[in-house]
Structure 1
Amino acid sequence: MADVPRGHTARWATGSNARGEGGSMHAYRRAAAGAAALVAVAAALSVTAAPADAADPCYSEAQPTTGPPLDLPTGPGCDDTVPPETSIDSSPVVGGWLRATSVSITFSGRHPDADSDPISYECQFFNSVSTPTTWQSCTSPFSRDGLDENTATPYTFRVRAVDTPDNAHDLTTDAWYPASADAPDYDQRPAELSFTADATAPNTFGFLRTTYADDSGFDGPMLVANSAQVRLQSSQGTTYRCTLNRKDVACNDGLTTLRPLGAGWKRFEAAAVDPAGNVDPSPFVEEFFVPRNLALGNAPRASRGDWRRFRDPGAFGGDYLESARYGAMLSFPVRNVREIRLLAPAGPQLGRVEIRVGRGQWYRVNLSSSDPQKLKVYAVRGALSGLLAGTLQVRVASHGKPVRVDAISAR
């Protein structure tokens, strides 16, 4: 080896060492980087591949084969554990009732996943206490006629969707690779509909409760209160649709009270509604007449201070008017009037009133009686009299005796 100056030898050796070790380090670093890259790629592949494999479902239970020409099985078929779902789309049943003796029900099924196998259906229809154990093939819509009405046990319709090819293949019977189990390929929660058939409308019965026996020639009786009570009954159910002069009013089974009632003719109708929703086509009808309650507002200006109002629960409308001034007047317009009746108290200390329509004759009514009554009906003009129209007037016709008047029936 050639002599080299001291000091330079150390530097040369050091430099030579640095070059040799530097090459090894670079190679090591390159290898480590490559390994890290491979690990990263493998990690990335494992992260993306795992969910795909885990989410890979079985849509068909057909056994895999080698294909033509031998077409031999190569392993067991997979088990499709997700059956189709079933829904009832439409039916005439409302609230558990069918207002007919025939029914038509539409239904459908769907796969909740990407399964594309064809779907068929199986149905049950019964009205027995126990559920049948067998199912029948069916198609939508399901129809049935001649149903019995109001059976003790409701009718029940059940339908389930079936994965047709998978249901036809039993994995446990495969000759080469039999499976230990095969999950059902039909909907385990069938769609269900229960109902009772009732196509017969109910009958409605009723009568007007009144304490006054009106024997006039009119079709509808006159009331002696501004309220009416009607008792209702039905051949089926306890629900009714009621109207008063064609406007809906509340009513109920048993006793219905209509209040307060304005003056004039009233027509009350009640139609029973059975639980199935059938409505009586020929409702109960009651017509009656409500007198006009006399009020201080009926006094013209000249007589406005001549009348006083007294409350009395036994009076028509709960009050009556009293005046002791001769000629004190009450008035209101009427038309097409034949019969006139005055509703007023009777007593030994009471005087007289006179009543007329327009410029017609005055009809005198004596309120004096040895038999006191809180409310008495006085016949003023008969039902067969001629028609009148104009202003009906009531005036005090006695001196020194008070008169009490309550209501007027002018019809």
Structure 2
Amino acid sequence: MRHLTTRRATGGLAALLVGALLPLLPGAAPALAADPCLSEAQPTDPLLGLPTGPGCDDTVPPTTSILTSRPAVVGGWIRTTSIAIDFQGEHPDADADPIAYECQFYDSPAAPTSWSPCTSPVRYDDLDERGATPYTFRVRAVDATDDAHDLTTDPFFPADADLPDYDQTPAELVFRADATTPSTFGFLRTTYYDQDQQATPMVTATSVQVTLQSDEGDDQQPARYRCRLDGRAVACADGLATLRGLKPGPQRFTAAAVDPAGNVDPTPYVQSFFVPRNLTAGDVVRSSKADWRRVRLSSAFAGDYLQSSTYGATAAFPVRNVREIRLLAPAGPRLGRVQVRIGHAAWTTVNLASAKAEALHVYQLRDQFSPLRSGLLQVRVASRGKLVRVDAVSAR
């Protein structure tokens, strides 16, 4: 009996020890929360098939996303009058109900109140171009099974509320359509009107500006421009091209408008022009180095001109296949004369004297119908005791 008592005591002691240690052991995992309502279908009697209780309200609708559009919307525009849009929906939980879709497509300031069934992809054709109001496409995913069952109208177990079974934050795509390429117009800003060479006018400065316009774009979304000068890209995106440091000779400027949708004018605006050669100290012949002086003047062709009062002082440079010659020089009272020729041809005399002073005057010595000539083009002082000033020569 004592032995038995001892064993019982020992067993009781063990039980006490276990009981004392239980609070020190890691806690057991809490019971899992009840699964959320995934379907609003009511429980039914397995034999009769009649509802045995109310259905739960699935409060988690599917989510919606737009995958792609063809063509892609870039900057709020498409460059066609048709679009196809791919979209999808998915349940954010373990819901296995099928998903349906409802869409809206409109170009009015306010969204319509109705939705139409749709499937992915959806396509829209014959879109109006450059409308005042952009097109809006909206799509929402719908839990098809739950949406077909309104808990509040159940004849056996009506519920007080049934939350919407569609995505209340629809996916949205907003865009305008424009499939028409723009046209580009330009204006060469110059104070000299070249009536003889209107297709390729001569300019009277080494820096000129070209103003550009297009038949597309507005103040909110203006057209942009892409420009090139003799094949080299130049800045003009805002519609004004300032061409500086122009080299002598023919120049070709092109500009293509780019409308807000990204359409590019396939027939760019073209403006050709001719830049005279600025006369510098480098053109003075060796025997006349001491006779010419460079004078800086902002209104001169390239910011300076050559000046001399020494009879016979000469500046020269080679030319090839030239018909037309124009001399750009200041005019004014008490100025002298210069002579110009190519090679060994006869000299043409130019009188720079004028009652009214001009910072830059254009003297035409040969026109575009004159015979071709090549050789050394020479400009020499032809008066004695009078100052002459020469600025630039256009030879083409």
Question: With structure 2 as the length reference, what TM-score do the two structures score?
Answer: 0.84
Which residue of structure 1 lines up, in the alignment, with residue 40 of structure 2? Answer: 61
The one-letter amino acid paired with 2:57 is D
Alignment of 1:9-408 (within 5 A): 26-36=10-20, 44-45=27-28, 48-50=29-31, 52-53=32-33, 56-65=35-44, 67=46, 69-71=47-49, 73-91=51-69, 92=71, 93-217=73-197, 219-237=199-217, 238-241=222-225, 242-251=227-236, 257-357=242-342, 359-371=343-355, 372-408=357-393
Instruction: State whether residues 341 and 348 of structure 2, in contact with CA within 8 Å, keep that contact through their aligned partners in structure 1.
Output: no
Larger Rg computed on CA atoms: 1
Paired residues of 1:231 and 1:253 also in contact (CA < 8 A) = no
Offset at residue 263 of structure 1 (A):
1.7
Residues 22 and 280 (structure 1 numbering): CA distance in 2 closer, same or farther, change over 3 Å? same
CA positional deviation for 1:310? 1.0
Amino acid at match of 1:188: Q
Unpaired runs of at least 5, structure 1: 1-16
Specify which structure has the higher proportion of helix: 1
Which amino acid is 2:236 matched to?
C
What SS class does the counterpart of residue 375 from structure 1 fall into? Answer: strand
Aligned CA distance change for structure 1 residues 305 and 169 (closer, same or farther; 3 Å): farther
2: distance between equivalents of 1:65 and 1:166? 16
Q: Is the 8 A contact 2:257 2:264 kept in 1?
A: yes
Q: TM-score, normalised by structure 1?
A: 0.81
In 2, Cα distance between equivalents of 1:218 and 1:209: 13
* RMSD, aligned CA: 3.2
Is the contact between residue 250 and residue 272 of structure 2 (CA under 8 Å) also seen in structure 1? Answer: yes
C-alpha distance in structure 2 between counterparts of 1:295 and 1:64, whole Å = 102
Aligned counterpart, 1:14: none
Secondary structure, aligned partner of 2:12: helix
Deviations 1:304-336 (A, max 9, x none): 443221112221122111123444343334333
* Number of corresponding residues: 388
8 Å CA contact 2:99–2:143 kept in 1: the answer is yes
Question: 1:12 maps to which residue?
Answer: none
Instruction: Report the secondary structure of 1:31's partner residue.
Output: helix
Distance of aligned partners of 1:394 and 1:71 in 2 relative to their CA distance in 1, 3 Å threshold: same
Structure 1 Cα separation of the partners of residues 224 and 189 of structure 2: 18
- Say whether the 8 Å CA contact 1:240–1:270 is kept in structure 2: no
Deviation at 1:391, TM superposition (A): 4.0
TM-superposition CA deviations, 1:184-210 (whole Å, max 9, x none): 221110011223333333333333333
Q: Which amino acid aligns with 2:299?
A: G
Partner amino acid for 2:392? A
Aligned-partner Cα distance in 2 for 1:108–1:262: 60
The alpha-carbon deviation at position 125 of structure 1 amounts to 1.1
Maintained 8 Å contact 1:230/1:256: yes
Q: Letter of the aligned partner of 2:68 in structure 1?
A: S
Letter in 2 for 1:394: V
Please say if residues 312 and 320 of structure 1, whose CA atoms lie closer than 8 Å, have aligned partners that are also in contact: yes
Q: In the superposition, relative to structure 1, how do residues 33 and 76 fare at CA in structure 2: closer, same or farther (>3 Å)? A: farther
Q: Deviations over 1:13-47 (max 9, x none)?
A: xxxx9x99976753432112333566677x733xx
More displaced 10-residue stretch of structure 1: 183-192 or 296-305: 296-305
* Deviation per residue, 1:85-141 (Å, 9 max, x gap): 111222333323333332222222222233333322110112233322211111122
8 A Cα contact 1:332 1:391, kept in partner = yes
Aligned to 1:112, what secondary structure does the other structure show? coil
Contact 1:345 1:367 (8 Å CA) reproduced: no
Structure 1 residues 313 and 79, CA gap change in structure 2 (3 angstroms): same
- The letter for the 2-side match of 1:401 is K
Cα distance in 1 between the residues matched to 2:316 and 2:395 = 12
Matched with 1:7 is none
CA–CA separation in structure 1 for the residues paired with 2:261 and 2:245: 33
Change (3 A) 1:300 1:167: farther
**1:70-93 deviation digits (Å, cap 9, x = unpaired):** 445454433332222111222333
Contact 1:233 1:253 in 2 (8 A): no
Distance between the aligned counterparts of 1:252 and 1:147, measured in 2? 29
2:334 and 2:387 in contact (8 A); partners too: yes
